[in-house]
Amino acid sequence: MSMQQVIEEGEQVLLHTYNRYPIVLDHGDGMYLYDLDGKKYLDFCAGIAVFALGYNNKHYNDALKAQVDKLLHTSNYYYSEPTIQAAKKLTAVTGMDRVFFTNSGAEAIEGAIKAARKFAYTHDGSTDHEIIAMHHSFHGRTMGALSATGNEKYQKPFMPMIGNIRFADFNDLKSVKALVNDKTCAIIMETVQGEGGIHPADPYFMRGIRQLCDDRGILLILDEIQCGMGRSGKMFAFEHYGVKPDILTVAKAVGCGVPVGAFLMTERVAKSSLVAGDHGSTYGGNPLAGCAVSTVLDLFEENHILENVVNVSKYLSARLEELVLENDCILGHRGLGLMQGLVFDTELASPGEIVKRCLDNGLILITAGADVIRFLPPLIAGTEHVDEMIEIFRKCLKG
């Protein structure tokens, strides 16, 4: 079947919730993806920060194949050794104490919100607690996650949202403090805003939020679904700030392609929040997902992924700065680790059109909002891949 025939069939049966590009990706290897016609693409998107280890990693593939042959699913009525091993390793690298495995990042956010509200309810029996979230944030598309997403464009068609969520300005500590009251039970935020335009938290802001939470007995929920798992140059971006959340959400690269996420919490939160019957998931943390997480964490250590991110991200930042200096249409560059963005003057250039040109020329990128192009390569990227990307990107900037 030709690529066009596959696309036409998809248009007949898939719900039109995505504006898909007219290619059918077939297989991948390392930093590259290939479509049905055999065309090669350098991937600087990584499935939206998912494929940290690149494509066709033999160790990862072999571990999953072995687990498929052994046991895929049982249900959470029983213990699963791969899942327990995954939980031990994930709590070790996060510094958290308890983990609940989900099937996605949005589900992790849902669980984090429930845990925070249950924690507050346990302490005072009240059901009118409030959560503070951030403008321009993105936490997911399910109703709870959407309710904490600070973008009316995503929310408006699905109103009303769940109640008692108020929005402050990211990196503006005064705006957060202005919303805090006796009903505030949690503050939820991304350590680095992704969809909102690649905005890392300011150190003063992050530390101020942590202190505010400590002073007022408020839980800090950090969403590291996109910016976590090594992408910042540390295992989790909050480590750059010398703070620790009370609840942490992860997904994307934690499974490197297998649909799995998690929310984690400290023992203090766990003791006073979710108990048997409060939360559940049929597939969450099944043996296949557990095997994926456990294997990914092993490979991060064995392949020195963090060291690679630190080295290559410096080079990527320098090359992106060259583009800023060379092009009037590029206003600036920001990011952390291998989560970088170029900000465009949209009157001079369209990020969406540039991304399409790049795709035509064998480079996969994505936008972040209306004026930013994101660079989210697999964490195995080398300086040679950065050079290859820059060469294609330069060409596509010129039209």
CATH topology of domain 71-302: Aspartate Aminotransferase; domain 2 (3.40.640)
Tell me the pLDDT of the chain (399 aa) as tens digits.
Answer: 899 999 999 999 999 999 999 999 999 999 999 999 999 999 999 999 999 999 999 999 999 999 999 999 999 999 999 999 999 999 999 999 999 999 999 999 999 999 999 999 999 999 999 999 999 999 999 999 999 999 999 999 999 999 999 999 999 999 999 999 999 999 999 999 999 999 999 999 999 999 999 999 999 999 999 999 999 999 999 999 999 999 999 999 999 999 999 999 999 999 999 999 999 999 999 999 999 999 999 999 999 999 999 999 999 999 999 999 999 999 999 999 999 999 999 999 999 999 999 999 999 999 998 999 999 999 999 999 999 999 999 999 987
Number of H helices, E strands in the chain: 14, 17
Contact between 167 and 132 (Cβ < 8 Å): yes
Reading the block at residue 283, the tokens are 């597939």
pTM of model > 0.95: yes
Beta-sheet pairing, 247-250 with 25-29:
unpaired
At residue 150, φ and ψ (nearest 5 deg) are -85, 60
Question: Domain spans of the chain?
Answer: 3-57+304-397, 71-302
Amino acid at 269: V
d(CA 27, CA 50): 15
d(CA 264, CA 87): 10
d(CA 352, CA 86): 38
Question: For residue 183, what are the CA distances in angstroms to 124, 125, 149, 174, 314?
Answer: 10, 12, 20, 18, 43
Same topology, domains 3-57+304-397 and 71-302? Answer is no
DSSP annotation string for 186-223: EEEEESEETTTTSEEPPHHHHHHHHHHHHHHTPEEEEE
CATH topology of domain 3-57+304-397: Aspartate Aminotransferase, domain 1 (3.90.1150)
